[in-house]
Structure 1
């Protein structure tokens, strides 16, 4: 790679997403654990979620590659036009190699740079801000940002693990960022935060180098462990707080942002944010009822849905917001 001249702006030129075909409904969960459709919907807003093919040896990279291929098609670009792939994920196919490397190979991107970033549900929001700076700094002409997780492989579909299992689904989304001579598009303001003291509120015990605490059942060591009450309290606090912080950095009022592209963790949290900031449904889309919490795939999936519906237009202001394990939370405000 050679040093490039600094562009005037950074533009989102393509988007894509991918959802597995298999649907797991609340009625299906009623047969697997002690729960009910009414109980799940009342607390989360979720009616169904998607599960990736359990026989796929590379589930995360194959789903991510599908989303990126769609984004490249949307941008009118070939895989070899990319300079870098950044992949936000907390569920890699294996500890190494990086999911982004496998995605690059599956699409035929050649020997471009590729790396993964793990900030759980906040991963995509953190990564898109970093991608912007790599282009704005003149290092790359174009960067693909993929958010993908196949987290259902880490869910326990018994009554013991129902607290997490009812929430999560698999999905991928991707955006293509490219330099432009137009000075208007690009990142306006961003905020990234973490609190490692809350790490055990939402985590997967094993899989890497950590010495695993004894679980009641050893099969739970690679499953999501969650303190639902603590996570909910954290989200209710930090989600609106980081929106306010980012608006203040940009000097904007809530109505001046056209779309709030939010991590889909809980319908009640999203609806509370709508009310707090006085937003119509058209400005804060909710799709959790159809797909569940898709971790790093959440925000790019919402953006791609908005674009396909003709809601995304040049000149608009879009804020990406997420929060999740780590604990992490952040926002990235863009001019399109």
Structure 2
């Protein structure tokens, strides 16, 4: 019986042994313990090891990939920083060029304005001289035409300098240089024109000392020039000037040429009168005035008001008696209209 039981235990132990994949016998304090690792436990352990190893491999691969991506990103960032630095440098250069470009444009605009002002000034001077020449009625027509011809020959070329808004940067220096040359040429033309203008002005000044026209605007000649008492002229009495009737109106009397007042007084025959010496042999007298408006020593210009018409002295009506002498010889005022 006992043998059967021992046989049964051995068989059971053999079965248990076959059920374990691995059996460990551990001794501790004289006691022996047996730990058996069953097959399915071994399978689970193997699966766990595989999972751990596989996860490590995947993690390592992911780490390497991330590392490569990070390195690539760093390289891209470095390249971007380099590009940004170069762009900043280019921007600085462009800003400097733009500043210089703007300054050049401002200088060019100022230069064009100066040129326009110079041309305008020259044209204004020429126009004023032309007006004075055109007003030389009664003078030598050939002289007036000659002066106008001189002005026309010295005419400056008027150009419309529009404000410069845009131009290529590399052209601004060349454009500025051209304007400088034009400025020099214009200065030379201005000097030349000024010389001509001075000459014309001197000529006009000389002409302004020559009596021209009548001293009363719209005056009517009531008595002609008749120094010899020719009976066929007017009433035949000696008359060394002409009488300009104002038809009972008191009107201004103006100097017919520039000069110096040498007499401004009252005469029993001429009444209130004014005499002007024009400094070139010519003298003029204006008589029968209601009042004199100038005094001896006054400098007058052609067209200045010197008296008012009247009927003082030996007179029968309001008028102006006007005389011209050249080196003491009486001249017919009609010859100086």
Report if TM-score (shorter chain) is over 0.5. no
TM-score of Structure 1 vs Structure 2, range by shorter chain:
under 0.3
Using the size of structure 2 for normalisation, the TM-score is 0.23
The structure with the largest alpha-carbon Rg is 2
Looking at secondary structure, tell me which structure has more helix per residue. 2
TM-score of the pair, normalised by structure 1: 0.23
